Structure 1
Amino acid sequence: MKRRKRQKGGIFRFRKLQTVIVVFLLLVGVLCFVQWNVPYEEQERELEPVEQDSLDLVTLDQDPECLIIWEDDDTGRQGLELMEDILSQMRIPYETVQGEEANRHDLEDYETVVLSVTRWNILDETLLKLRDWLEAGGSLMALYPPEINGSFQVFAKDFGIERLGNDYVVTSGLRMTRPFMIGGDKEYVITDPFESSLSVSLDDNAEVYMESTDENLVPLIWKTKQGEGEAVFCNIGIVEKAYRGFYSTAYSLLEETCAWPVINGSTFYIDDFPSPVPGGESKYIKRDYGMTISEFYTQVWWNDVYNLAEEYGIRYTGLVIEQYSDDVEQPYERNNDTQRYRYFGNMLLDQGGEIGFHGYNHMPLCLLGFDYGDGYESYRLWHSYEDMLASIQELKSFCEEMFPKEKFQVYVPPSNILSEEGRTMLKEDVDGIKAVASVYIGGLDEVAYEQEFEVAEDGMIETPRIISGYIMDDYTQLIAFSELNFHYVNTHFQHPDDTLDEDRGAALGWEEMYQRISDYTEWLYTSASDIRNLTGSELAAAVQIYDNLEVERDYTDGRLKLHLANFRDEAWLMVRINEGTPGEVTGGSLTEVAEGLYLLEAQDDEIEIVIGQ
């Protein structure tokens, strides 16, 4: 009897243990279900792009305000292109003339003159006219340091130059001497420096705004008064797209006031996300975390990236890849492994983010005959237009199944490569795509699809990404600073697999990579606390508003009046006030963002700012 009793008790305890195990497994199952089935609520977008054809746009007929005098040599042509881009995007009407023919123009017809001239002796009598015009109240800007010759030496004093060196010097970095630029409270390194600046000493009347960080300080941007006029000299000597913000800012110093439209938007993209997660292990992830790639993505990388967005209100735009196959012919296999897509995608959407298209696979939209050049040997070409279109249609169907409440309005080309045929296809045959987000600076990659912030002739909105990755090197920081001051915009893209690639920083370890992107976001949102966090489609809408806007300025008797053509609901502008301070504002509101620089939120198409002395 006693033996039987012990058996009964043992069976009872075993059954209790079984019950505990079953309950535990059920709880684990519920937790797993919750983890991989994060719900999301449909988000209301702050801005929505509209069909460009539906807008009744007008073009203001304005007399040219600026004359660009240029020389037909390499630097002169680069300077001309740079200033044409800057002035057209600042909505400042201008004309251009080659230096030898400048004498035919009446300088009294212009408020400002920009010199993109290397050999000032070609200007001949125009130099004398410029001096008289400047003394009488004109505003003159030298875009880059010219050749040191007799003509320049004679005119140098009009730019406040007291002593002129005999040669050019290397400028390896720059810093602000006055807080006149947004984010200008730190030093910036010039990558690949060369002998680009003049060695000069200035007289006491010159106001220096920027100088070099070298042991022998060199003034890089300064302004001086000559009679009733103002002269600004840019001594950086690097005439490239990445430096637009420096030259636009220098131009804004010329007159009592300057106003130009900006985008006001910060957008962070995550390419290849959601996408199939690589299997196996990574050398550096294993070294630092002892995890597989899949475990690291879920438990570390996404957790950190998500929390960074929470801290600063970032709303990511994730760009979906369905497969990593190299299929370029129909039919295309559906990816049925969707747990991670739903988990990552729903979390991103629930945070206020957005889903866009990257591709069915990672093959750029390029047909047979397209030349990728070097470095893309693994990329294949689509066999036909129909095959290429079918791949995007499959991706769209897949995304609609995953995220049925979402609109898919943004396309990012794999490796930033996009053919004319591919772009035409997106515009004409893929319903819903409103914007293409490639790159702002093509760099040495000639095959890259380089963009401007604009609405293209066919109505597609171009929203280039300016910077990328986690390394955040010196060049990245400089161009981010430049564009913050030119367009008041930040666009950045990252990839989950940046953490696996040594060329993109993997050897640094994720902790260091994350620290660098955290430092950048802290700088961005400290420097530009009023910048708006936008998704990719919201940025497209902001770019459309910005690009369509026309600005007419009138500054008389201490009142700056702005007329905004094509205004609809909202617009943003920068206003530089070089003399006096703003008082009453009608039709908008001002926020100071740097010394003498104000962000204007326009609430009407007619704005007046009273400026007191």
Structure 2
Amino acid sequence: MRNIRSTFAAIILVLLLSVVVLQWGRVTAIYSMFPLLNQEEKHFPTMGTEMKERSGEPITISLLENDSIDSKAAISNIRYALQYAKIPFREIKKEDLSSLEPSPYHILIVAGEHAKEWPYEVIESFVDQGGRLMVALRYGGVKQAWNDLVGIDDANDFIQSTQKGLTFEKSLFPGYPNLSSENALFSHSVLDITLKEEADLYLSVQDHPVMWTFDYGKGKVGYWNTTITKDKEARGLVLQSLSLLPPSFVMHQAGIKVSYLDDFPSPIKEGTVENMGYGQFVKDVWWESVEELRETYDLIYTGALIGTYEDRQRLGAEELIELREFPMVYYGRQILNRGGELALHGYNHQPLVVEEDGIPVDEGHEYVPWKRKSIMKKKLNQTEELFHHYFPDQAFQSYVPPSNILGPTGLDALMESLPSVNVIASLYFGAEEGESFIQEFDFDQSYAGLYHFPRTASGHGDTSEDYFLLTDAIANQGVFSHFIHPDDRTDVDRAKGRSWEEMREGLEGMYRFLSTYYPYLESLTQQEAREKLIAYQQSNIDVRYEKDAITITGEDMLHPSIALVRLNSGQHLETGAFSFGEVEVMPDSSNLYIVTLREPSVTLKMKEEVS
């Protein structure tokens, strides 16, 4: 009897060993298909020279606001736009106006319903003698002298109905599309006015002038007959309108392009997609498409990894490891081997929020709050175990909040459980008072080293609004960060009734658009983009203007650095390759140049146009 038991136990042991060997062989086979290569960390060199006294005049931008909500909002928005483009500015008070020095390179920016408080004679004299004035948010009910100064021939009251859309009468920056009256991106409050014939109109809405320039005396005025200058979505537009006022104007660009594959690897779903199983569609159609786009447009992917798509938190690390084996190894290793990054999207797709955070739930979107922080930390650590099982030499550094929602308790749980995280990538555009986690490009105020790097675009080039937003972010500081999902084709709202081929064509059209208009954007992982943008923001760049030359000098500036140069004086720059770098005309522009700087001190000589 004892021998029978021993024999039976031996047979069971052999069978178990066979299963283990077979399982290990299967895993090893998958691993061998995509061996993990050693990835070299990318660093961004800087260059600089001693900031000595130099000839030429710097740009001076004086910001004047009062205590009104509109004025503060518009001027705050402009501060961000100037900081992102590395353009210096200063804050002034009303009593400082009389001491302003008129100059073609001195721009006074005012905004809001308080023109009656401004000393007309002082500001008129400033412009008449050569200064530049930007009225960054419309005002009404003032004496005609004010209207004459800014190029308004006749002004009635405010138009009662809110105006929608935006039309470009002249190009402000290449790539912006017109927005129809059905588009809800902007809501304008405008004056009913007619312009003087000499005014140069750039933007309108429903045949009402929105933004124009006007020569007055030796100076020049820009005017925004709207309230959209308070909106983050118009920062690039406002910056570009400022560049129209001096004879020449330099704006700096970070030159960054980030491509996210969100909800990655794909959710496990039942059913068919375009006459095949969902898993087969993702592997043989969707993945092949994004790989072709990567090769064609030199993209680098950051995949935002998720543990499970269950709402509940019932799965432990071992179960996650078993469940996610194929997609982690097959897709994850391909991303890493092609120079990409794997970021964290969460244990599951429920945002890190507890009821006590009090975050509102927008209509049509609900989430299940977590019970307490300790559970969040436990599940985040289990997701890290899943990650380390397949990629033991990697660490989570970038985090994408599920549904772009993150509560203060969740942020604490994230940083306490995963201190390696140094980037949170949520949304750049959106309502601050809503449920979404809206960000600026800057360091966190509570956690040292944690950087906020929001995404500026999503989808497959679906609407004119999408193109407008991605263009505006580029027009401000040259950053494009975009995400799509493997299951976009099966999502009714995101697919909008389109086939995958149609969605792919839209996505390729968007990347073709980027490579055509903004070829200086460099494809990077999220971590590389963090490093480059921080280096860009911390650089010190000085620009001096003369009648026929612009001198750009920098300390710790990126090598190479990108500057956009606008000339408004009937002059031009010679294009081509030079010892200091390259100069090229920006596509669809006659007076806007892309200048690539490979030296820390460069003088650009301007040539007179030959008629």
TM-score band by shorter chain is 0.7 to 0.9
Q: Who is 2:233 aligned against?
A: 242
Q: Who is 2:491 aligned against?
A: 501
| AA aligned opposite 1:388 | M
The correspondence for 1:412, drawn from 400, 404, 410, is 400
Q: How does 1:552-563 map to 2 (within 5 A)?
A: 552-563=542-553
Structure 1, gaps ≥5 residues long:
1-28, 51-57
Kindly state the Cα deviation for residue 610 of structure 1 after the two structures are TM-superposed: 1.9
| Distance of aligned partners of 1:570 and 1:367 in 2 relative to their CA distance in 1, 3 Å threshold | farther
| Distance of aligned partners of 1:610 and 1:424 in 2 relative to their CA distance in 1, 3 Å threshold | farther
Give the CA RMSD over aligned residues: 3.5
TM-score (norm 1): 0.81
Q: Who is 1:181 aligned against?
A: 173
| Distance of aligned partners of 1:318 and 1:65 in 2 relative to their CA distance in 1, 3 Å threshold | same
The correspondence for 1:450, drawn from 422, 438, 460, is 438
Q: Distance in 2 between matches of 1:542 and 1:175?
A: 34
| AA aligned opposite 1:308 | L
| Distance of aligned partners of 1:41 and 1:182 in 2 relative to their CA distance in 1, 3 Å threshold | farther
| Aligned sequence identity (%) | 23
Counterpart check, 1:82 vs 2:77: yes
Q: Distance in 2 between matches of 1:382 and 1:586?
A: 62
Q: Who is 2:427 aligned against?
A: 439
Q: Distance in 2 between matches of 1:236 and 1:590?
A: 35
**Number of aligned residue pairs:** 560
The correspondence for 2:126, drawn from 126, 129, 133, is 133
Q: SS of 1:443's equivalent?
A: coil
Q: Distance in 2 between matches of 1:350 and 1:462?
A: 26
Q: Distance in 2 between matches of 1:498 and 1:36?
A: 30
Q: Who is 2:3 aligned against?
A: none
Q: How does 1:324-473 map to 2 (within 5 A)?
A: 324-326=309-311, 332-335=317-320, 336-337=322-323, 338-366=325-353, 369-375=356-362, 377-381=366-370, 383-385=372-374, 387-404=375-392, 406=394, 408-424=396-412, 426-427=414-415, 430-443=418-431, 446-457=434-445, 458-470=448-460, 472-473=462-463
Q: Deviations over 1:493-524 (max 9, x none)?
A: 12223322223235334343333323322222
Q: SS of 2:309's equivalent?
A: coil
| Distance of aligned partners of 1:378 and 1:194 in 2 relative to their CA distance in 1, 3 Å threshold | closer
Q: Who is 2:18 aligned against?
A: none
| Distance of aligned partners of 1:419 and 1:208 in 2 relative to their CA distance in 1, 3 Å threshold | same
Kindly state the Cα deviation for residue 332 of structure 1 after the two structures are TM-superposed: 4.1
Q: How does 1:564-575 map to 2 (within 5 A)?
A: 564-567=554-557, 569-575=559-565
Q: Deviations over 1:110-132 (max 9, x none)?
A: 81111102242222xx1111111
Q: Who is 1:477 aligned against?
A: 467
Counterpart check, 1:592 vs 2:577: no
Kindly state the Cα deviation for residue 201 of structure 1 after the two structures are TM-superposed: 3.8
Counterpart check, 1:551 vs 2:536: no
Kindly state the Cα deviation for residue 348 of structure 1 after the two structures are TM-superposed: 2.8
Q: Who is 2:263 aligned against?
A: 272
Q: Deviations over 1:314-336 (max 9, x none)?
A: 22110111223445599644421
TM-score (norm 2): 0.82
Q: Deviations over 1:14-70 (max 9, x none)?
A: xxxxxxxxxxxxxxx99x9679944454444544699xxxxxxx9x9x999222222
| Distance of aligned partners of 1:568 and 1:82 in 2 relative to their CA distance in 1, 3 Å threshold | closer
Q: Deviations over 1:167-191 (max 9, x none)?
A: 437654334444441214x433462
Farther-moved stretch of structure 1 (572-581 vs 370-379): 370-379
| AA aligned opposite 1:112 | I
Q: How does 1:142-291 map to 2 (within 5 A)?
A: 142-147=135-140, 149-151=141-143, 153-168=144-159, 171-184=163-176, 186-189=177-180, 191-192=183-184, 194=187, 196-212=189-205, 214=206, 217-239=207-229, 240-278=231-269, 280-281=270-271, 285=273, 289-291=274-276
- Equivalent pair of 1:330/1:390 in contact (CA under 8 Å): no
- Equivalent pair of 1:365/1:382 in contact (CA under 8 Å): no
Q: Distance in 2 between matches of 1:421 and 1:259?
A: 42
| AA aligned opposite 1:348 | I
- Equivalent pair of 2:373/2:409 in contact (CA under 8 Å): no
Q: Distance in 1 between matches of 2:162 and 2:337?
A: 50
Q: Distance in 2 between matches of 1:330 and 1:496?
A: 23
Q: Deviations over 1:282-316 (max 9, x none)?
A: 6xx3xxx2333222222222222222222212221
